[in-house]
Amino acid sequence: MTQIGQFTRLRGLYSGRLRTLTIDVHLVLVPAPTSDHPQQPDYRIHAGDADGPEIGAAYKRVSDKAGEFLALWLDDPALPAPLRASLFQNPYDKKGWNLHWTRTPKASGLD
């Protein structure tokens, strides 16, 4: 997995930068209002600050290996497809979180 960002968690918000060769943007993950809808995200992702444009959502997940993490889904008209990434807590800095991305493999037989 490639690390494409670093975040900190403070007072229920995650704040940090997403950086790639073509993207450099500050993101804030704000807790989403509670809802009974099963597909409701846990966080809304905003560009710039908490009042900036909403560009995605994040969902709480748990795995045996990584423990608790956030699955992010980001979209923008400039992207050819939504960007999916995972935000994992830094094992050496409990306030630090690392954003990782892996290219989704192409389906077999499709080119």
Residue 107 within a domain = no
Domains identified in the chain, total number: 1
The one-letter amino acid code at 98 reads: N
**Per-residue model confidence as pLDDT tens digits over 23-52:** 999 999 999 998 888 889 999 999 999 999
pLDDT(110) > 70? no
Round to whole Å and give the CA distance between 69 and 7.
13
* Distance, CA of 94 to CA of 88 (rounded, Å): 10
Q: What is the pLDDT of residues 1-26, one digit of tens each?
A: 799 999 999 989 999 999 999 999 99
Q: Is residue 20 part of a domain?
A: yes
pLDDT at 58: 98
With respect to residue 111, please indicate whether it lies within any of the assigned structural domains.
no
Asked if residue 110 is part of any domain, the answer here is: no
Domain with 49 in it: 2-101
Task: Give the sign of the dihedral formed by CA 92, CA 97, CA 103, CA 104.
Answer: positive
- Dump strand ranges (E) for 1-111: 2-10, 13-19, 24-31, 43-47, 54-63, 67-74, 83-89, 96-101
pTM: 0.88
